[in-house]
Structure 1
Amino acid sequence: MTPAAFDKLYDVVGKLLVKKSLRQPIAAKCRLFLTLMYLAHGSSHFYLSRLFRMGVSTVRSITQEVTQIIWNKLCGIYLPEVDENSWKQYSNEFKIQWNLPNCCGAIDGKHITLECPPKSGSLYFNYKKQHSISLMAICDANYNFLAVDAGAYGGNSDGSVFAASEFGRRLLRDELNLPSPCALPRSEHIIPHYIVGDAAFPLKSNLMRPYPGRNLSLTKENFNRRLSRARRTIENAFGIMVARWRILKSPLIMHPMSAEHIVKSVVILHNFVKQHCGSQYAPRGFADIANEDGDVQEGEWRKLVEPMASVSAGIVQRGNNAARSAYDIRDLLAQYLLENKIP
């Protein structure tokens, strides 16, 4: 984060960080800087207490309070509800950058590892044999988060977390303000706008997932490859976030509710910093890029951090029977992608 970006962030949240006390309170800028250092470096509360000459409990209370303020003040600005015109813009970006028409975003869920909460049983125990909370998110073609849901039990599958989230329910009910169906470029075929996800998500007319199985036909194999190219955006968004905000690299030793506040503040700070100093935060080559042949070259962030754990497609919930129209739309899109190669 550049000094200019820090000052802009302080202008937004600074008034809420000012404390009044009979003794001289900790300065608002110091409280903000301490919290950003905690999130960016993943330093322990004990280390920061020695560095800033504060008590461990004071540092802990500052980080928890400031992260909540950051989320509450910035979410309406840097993570607003997306309207139809914005979805059209995101769709155009996916078409230009990832050669996937009518795609408005990519969705995925990740595990945020934490220390075993007391008396939680197996609620937070995931298939990686770790305790975690789930982070579900949608991103655009430029790795900005459009919607997030954090705090679900880590033992749940992506499909169940998605169905229980607010934007998941709205997407399944077709209440997400996605643009009206339109014709594919250079074609008379009209299909809805949609979000792309992996095999953990149900197939819907506005939610495309890859074809299952092996030894697929050329049409289906090509569709899965093209879908995977666009879906990489959400994996890169998570990867960039963890590489820059390293608090998420290690298990969070705190109550799940406190961990949720940390995660949500990191998500909103990702959007904030990327908008105000994106060339330094995520320079070209830091995320995956597509070369002239259409092949994807892995980004630099993969050398800094491992991809966050996701739910294995082999353990997702079954029984998500799609409507016949959803299969028809996927088949139509698959045939179109086969006939229209990446330029």
Structure 2
Amino acid sequence: MRACIPPKVAVTIRYLASGATLTDLHYYCRIGISTISKIVRLVWNLLKAEFLPQPREETWQRIANKFDKSTLLLNCLGAIDGKHKRANRFPHSSSMNLNYKGYFSIILMAVVDSDYKFIYVDILACGICISANSIFQINDERSMTYPTTIRSN
């Protein structure tokens, strides 16, 4: 018999998998909204290194080779897409989160490999950053390693 999933992990998995709001989880789990927010952030910070590690140069090389074989795209390190998620105006943000569609948002950016597995996820991008280039500008600050050269197989 398997061990029970700890309640904090269960709340986090439900939040990440269902797309439910914190208010929905508040009613479902009977836990305060601010408490759920802290739980999700804490558990995600513990799990992300294991389940979404920062790619190393060998990983990028493997991803590029698989893209070359499956799609004939040379030197492709991933497919990038983003989604605007409506949000209330953040205090002291001025127009930083006001997107080109005219509402306040954050951008959920993701990079996937040729097997549609997530390589990188960013949920901190501001709503004004509307291009895929913003993921590279953000990563410059976080020092993500990219390969200097890609070898073809």
TM over 0.5: yes
Question: What residue is the counterpart of 1:165 in the other structure?
Answer: 138
Question: What residue is the counterpart of 1:67 in the other structure?
Answer: 40
**Aligned partners of 2:136, 2:49: CA distance in 1, in Å?**
23
Q: Compute the displacement of 1:68 (Å).
A: 1.6
- Opposite residue 149 of structure 2, the aligned amino acid is S
Segments of 5+ residues of structure 1 without an aligned counterpart are: 11-28, 186-343
Aligned partners of 2:112 and 2:119 also within 8 Å: yes
Segments of 5+ residues of structure 2 without an aligned counterpart are: none
Q: Secondary structure at the match of 1:112?
A: strand
Query: Which structure dedicates a bigger proportion of its chain to strand?
Result: 2
What do you get for the CA RMSD once the two structures are aligned? 3.2
Instruction: Give the percent of matched residue pairs that are identical in Structure 1 and Structure 2.
Output: 30
Q: Compute the displacement of 1:91 (Å).
A: 1.7
Going from structure 1 to structure 2, the CA distance change for 1:89 and 1:114 (only over 3 Å counts) comes to: same
Is 1:111 the counterpart of 2:96? The answer is no
Question: What residue is the counterpart of 1:180 in the other structure?
Answer: 149
Q: Compute the displacement of 1:132 (Å).
A: 0.8
Q: Compute the displacement of 1:141 (Å).
A: 0.9
Is 1:135 the counterpart of 2:108? The answer is yes
Question: What residue is the counterpart of 2:13 in the other structure?
Answer: 36
Please identify the structure whose Cα radius of gyration is greater: 1
- Opposite residue 77 of structure 1, the aligned amino acid is E
Going from structure 1 to structure 2, the CA distance change for 1:43 and 1:157 (only over 3 Å counts) comes to: closer
Aligned residues: 152
Going from structure 1 to structure 2, the CA distance change for 1:30 and 1:92 (only over 3 Å counts) comes to: same
Alignment of 1:7-22 (within 5 A): 10=5
Aligned partners of 1:123 and 1:155 also within 8 Å: yes
Query: Which structure dedicates a bigger proportion of its chain to helix?
Result: 1
Question: What residue is the counterpart of 1:156 in the other structure?
Answer: 129
Going from structure 1 to structure 2, the CA distance change for 1:164 and 1:88 (only over 3 Å counts) comes to: closer
